[in-house]
Amino acid sequence: MKLITHLYSCTSTITRKDGFRILGVIETSYLYDDIDVETIADGCHLPPDLLKLIYKIKTDEHMCLVTDAIRHGGMSDIENATCENGNMPYKIEDGVAKLIDGSAFAGSIATTDVLVRTCTKRAGFALESAVKMITEVPARIMKLDTKGSLKVGYDADIVIFDDDINVIKTIVSGNVI
């Protein structure tokens, strides 16, 4: 096991069997230093204090930021939407997709800038760490040898943002998009 997908989102925690406690996926991810964890760092799926806990244990070496955005990513306040297959109606409110009755999240609408902004502005991470967790760490996990860093021989994919993490310019393969 090398990667935990969406830590705290549908991942098991401590349970009991015959009275004895058994570690779940969450605790196991903390127990082994070399396990990477994906975090939906939108401030909704994982609040800033929980992001701080994960970061304290996993550091920016093994914590990966993922949007897990559904097709309505980046949108807000939609009353009645459905998944691609027409099942599971949901609404967008409070920065997240929720089931119509509000009982659970239906998905993320976060964009990458939201993750970096949440980690830096709300959880207090250094900008360099947040950027590393959204670039270098996922590139390493996916074995993308020419992505994740600004180095000679790497793809010239760059996002430029302002002090409030608002995207100003996007460059892909050296071309401004």
Q: Is 68 noted as a catalytic residue in this protein?
A: yes
**What count of Cα atoms within 13 Å lies in the side-chain half-sphere of residue 3?**
13
Among 68, 94, 163, 164, the active-site one is 68
Residue 157: phi, psi to the nearest 5? -105, 115
110 CB-near residues (< 8 Å, 6+ apart): 40, 41, 42, 44, 67, 68, 69, 73, 95
Quick one: which of 159, 90, 110, 103 has its CA closest to 119?
Answer: 110
Known catalytic residues are 68
